[in-house]
């Protein structure tokens, strides 16, 4: 309540990755901003050294060193896959409410700054290609994956549309576990589909799906199949 007696509404607090987890992520060379994460993948680092490029360059002509891999839902996921290299205790709750998440532009501004810090550390190595390092500071491809499940971020359509609006953007890839089919449909309805959409497929039947993915949703198999059936009709 203000001095005049008026009720002042408190601003909703943004979701934050727990400090103990942030510390471990930064130690593993991740950048963290609120509930989002960014990193430099193995192939990006190899490209800096002139030691090869990833499949995106070979098949689609995308500059590996100019790819920004990130997730707007860094530690949020509906599955607890047996092969996941991230410790299960890293993952937080199953919900990301719209009023508690950062806006797309805010996410990208913060993650760009975190990514720049990761890149700057490579300038001191004489084996790095300085031209590629310079070019990498302004990404032209975005891989929305890295960690967590990006389709849990409720403002994903706005995020993808924001990325498309950036002058340097050439392509956007999105990787999903298929547990949020309504979000995939929303991307189509709002003209916010990525350049390419990848559906993680790691089981051939219901029983193996449960055993491998260890899903949190009771209807996880149905959700995944809804997403699969949707793929041929998108766009």
pLDDT band at 109 (very low <50, low <70, confident <90, very high): very high
Nearest to 75 by CA among 14, 146, 176: 146
| Distance in angstroms (rounded) separating the CA atoms of residues 170 and 222 | 34
> What pTM was computed for the model?
0.90
SS3 136: helix
| Distance in angstroms (rounded) separating the CA atoms of residues 23 and 138 | 26
Ranges of each domain in the chain: 25-231
Please, are residues 16 and 101 in contact by the beta-carbon 8 Å criterion?
no
Average the pLDDT over each of 12-21, 36-45, 101-110 and give the range with the smallest value. Answer: 12-21
pLDDT band at 90 (very low <50, low <70, confident <90, very high): low
| Distance in angstroms (rounded) separating the CA atoms of residues 223 and 199 | 12
Q: Which residue has the higher pLDDT, 230 or 13?
A: 230
Q: How far apart are the first and last CA of the chain?
A: 49
Nearest to 136 by CA among 159, 115, 165: 115
| Per-residue model confidence as pLDDT tens digits over 139-191 | 999 999 988 999 999 999 999 999 999 999 999 999 999 999 999 999 999 99
| Distance in angstroms (rounded) separating the CA atoms of residues 177 and 200 | 5
Mean pLDDT of the chain: 91
Q: Is it the case that residue 212 has pLDDT exceeding 70?
A: yes
Q: Does domain 25-231 have CATH number 3.30.1330.60?
A: no
């Amino acid at each position: 309540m203000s001095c005049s007696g008026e009720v002042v509404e408190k601003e909703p607090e943004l979701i934050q990755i727990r400090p103990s987890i942030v510390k471990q992520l930064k130690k593993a060379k991740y950048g963290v901003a609120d509930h989002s994460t960014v990193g430099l993948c193995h192939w990006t680092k190899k490209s800096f050294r002139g030691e090869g490029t990833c499949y995106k360059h070979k098949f689609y002509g995308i500059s590996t060193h100019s790819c920004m891999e990130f997730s707007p839902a860094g530690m949020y996921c509906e599955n607890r896959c047996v092969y996941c290299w991230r410790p299960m205790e890293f993952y937080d709750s199953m919900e990301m409410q719209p009023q508690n998440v950062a806006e797309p532009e805010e996410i990208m501004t913060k993650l760009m700054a975190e990514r720049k810090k990761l890149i700057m550390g490579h300038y001191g190595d004489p084996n790095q290609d300085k031209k590629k390092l310079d070019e990498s500071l302004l990404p032209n491809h975005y891989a929305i994956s890295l960690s967590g499940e990006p389709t849990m971020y409720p403002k994903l359509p706005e995020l993808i549309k924001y990325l498309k609006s950036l002058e340097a953007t050439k392509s956007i890839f999105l990787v999903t576990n298929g547990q949020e089919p309504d979000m995939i449909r929303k991307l189509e309805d709002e003209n916010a589909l990525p350049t390419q959409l990848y559906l993680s497929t790691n089981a051939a039947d219901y029983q193996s799906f449960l055993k491998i993915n260890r899903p949190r949703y009771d209807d996880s198999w149905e959700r995944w199949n809804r997403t699969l059936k949707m793929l041929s009709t998108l766009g």
